[in-house]
Structure 1
Amino acid sequence: MEDLLKKHFLDYFAVRDDVDVTAERLGKEHAPHLQCEKGCDLCCMDFSILPIEFYAILEELKSNKFDKTKIQSNAPNNKDSCIFLKDHACTIYKSRPLICRTHGLPLLFANDDGEWELSACELNFTQFNFEKFSVSNTYPQDKFNSRLFLLNRKFISEFGKGKDFGEFDLLPLKELVEKL
């Protein structure tokens, strides 16, 4: 059972590695327009994530002996801020969720009507012609979200029995602190 759980986490980490490669490529390509740097934390919000990601991050934080006391004593003033934000920096940066790994980049996704939409941080790309965005220079959010969803579905089918979540449920990131 433990080996199967590790396999699920390794599959998640493989997706995360692919996201990082794509994000790094796009970050280099769009470097002149990205304003993101340490101290910019407007995107650091109280997100909820799929169970596979939640439990993989939890396991990673436990393995790295993450010290949760610095978090509990430093809860953000804004209830919408991420609990892992301290002094305008992410305390779980190496383990942060996929959504956090793509902030600042131009995101391409299908909206509820099935039409393609482009999203970009309002602080970035202020001097950029949006007509120049293409499939090759935007982050394919749906591609990675689909991979993550399929991993989550398998994870839930094998480990979700008796848990309080299903394949469409999201778990608040801040609940990681309670489980550490």
Structure 2
Amino acid sequence: MGRNDLCFCGSGKKQKKCHPNINEDSVAAKIIKLYTQLSKELEENVYGKKNIKCQKGCNACCKDYFAINEVEFAVIMDYLYNNCGIEKTNIIIKKAIALSEKFEKNNPEYYKQLEENIAGKNINYMVRINLENMPEQQEECVFLDEDGACGIYNVRPIICRTHGICYYSDDAEHKICDKIPSYMNNKDNMLDIDEYKMEIASVGNYRKNGKGVALFRRKYPIFYFMKIYFENGRTVADYFKHPVIHNILHGNEEMLYDCICNFNGIRLKK
């Protein structure tokens, strides 16, 4: 794909004006395409047609320790770098690191789990130390602006795109927020995304040659990703030079698989 060709994301813009720094064959491009698919589904089947409880301007669910994968974080960082400028990006990073330090102080046991390197471990081990039962976050998401609006709305993670307006048919009953106290009773106003379940689950799980044992990568809260990559004075330029991040944005899945194995000393299976 040339820089003057239409972007892989389906925006209708030329790639040089849309996602100039992302390879169309990368895992980053894969998730951006998924974002486009979900947005189209919601536009055609939910917005303006159903009694949506999640209204524009509401940020009630933006106080949670929800976790995202490294690909979504890389897409966010690419967006910040190209659209928000270094000064604003550094302010966000500083806020996130402060939140990480506060979380470590208030929740040392959970923080210890965050610090554990699980590269090469199986999915059952990952589930055992997940953060689903973490205490409710009191601080707002670091990406909310002065007016309480999302500063990265165009590249918001899957959980932000689907929470409160999408569901899987086998989801258990739960409260979504004060406006949607009963998940089951609100299903008629939500989008069934069963067809995307495997695709969403595969993001962050990489395979060599499209087969074999998957290399699972854990999710982290956004503030912890910021801590990992930017503590001790590391810069945004340093972030994009990291071999894993470089391959997320510029390589393909096989190249990324090899890079992660080499970086973490994981022996490749024959």
TM-score, L = length of structure 2: 0.47
1:81 alignment partner, SS class: coil
The answer for the alignment partner of 1:71 in structure 2 is 92
Q: Classify 1:91/1:107 alpha carbon distance in 2 versus 1 (closer, same or farther; 3 Å).
A: same
Gaps of 5+ in 1: 111-115, 159-165
Gaps of 5+ in 2: 1-20, 103-136, 210-214, 237-270
Question: 2-side partners of 1:109 and 1:176: how far apart?
Answer: 34
The answer for the alignment partner of 1:170 in structure 2 is 219
2:174 maps to 1:92: no
Tell me, yes or no, if the aligned pair for 1:26 and 1:138 is still in contact at 8 Å: yes
TM-score, L = length of structure 1: 0.65
Larger radius of gyration: 2
Tell me, yes or no, if the aligned pair for 1:107 and 1:140 is still in contact at 8 Å: yes
Tell me, yes or no, if the aligned pair for 2:52 and 2:190 is still in contact at 8 Å: no
Q: Give how far 1:36 is off.
A: 1.8
* Greater RCO (Cα-Cα under 8 Å, separation 6 or more): 1
* Count of residue pairs the alignment pairs up: 161
Q: Could you list the per-position Cα deviations for residues 93-129 of structure 1 after superposition, in whole angstroms to 9, with x for gaps in the alignment?
A: 111111111233152353xxxxx43556444468xx9
1:20 alignment partner, SS class: helix
Q: Could you list the per-position Cα deviations for residues 142-176 of structure 1 after superposition, in whole angstroms to 9, with x for gaps in the alignment?
A: 5434213324222x769xxxxxxx62400221234
2:30 maps to 1:11: yes
1:27 alignment partner, SS class: coil
Q: Classify 1:79/1:34 alpha carbon distance in 2 versus 1 (closer, same or farther; 3 Å).
A: closer
Q: Give how far 1:60 is off.
A: 2.8
RMSD of aligned residue pairs (Cα, Å): 3.8
The answer for the alignment partner of 2:134 in structure 1 is none
Q: Classify 1:56/1:3 alpha carbon distance in 2 versus 1 (closer, same or farther; 3 Å).
A: closer
Pick the aligned partner of 1:102 from 133, 157, 162: 162
Q: Percent identity?
A: 19
Tell me, yes or no, if the aligned pair for 1:33 and 1:124 is still in contact at 8 Å: no
The answer for the alignment partner of 1:147 in structure 2 is 199
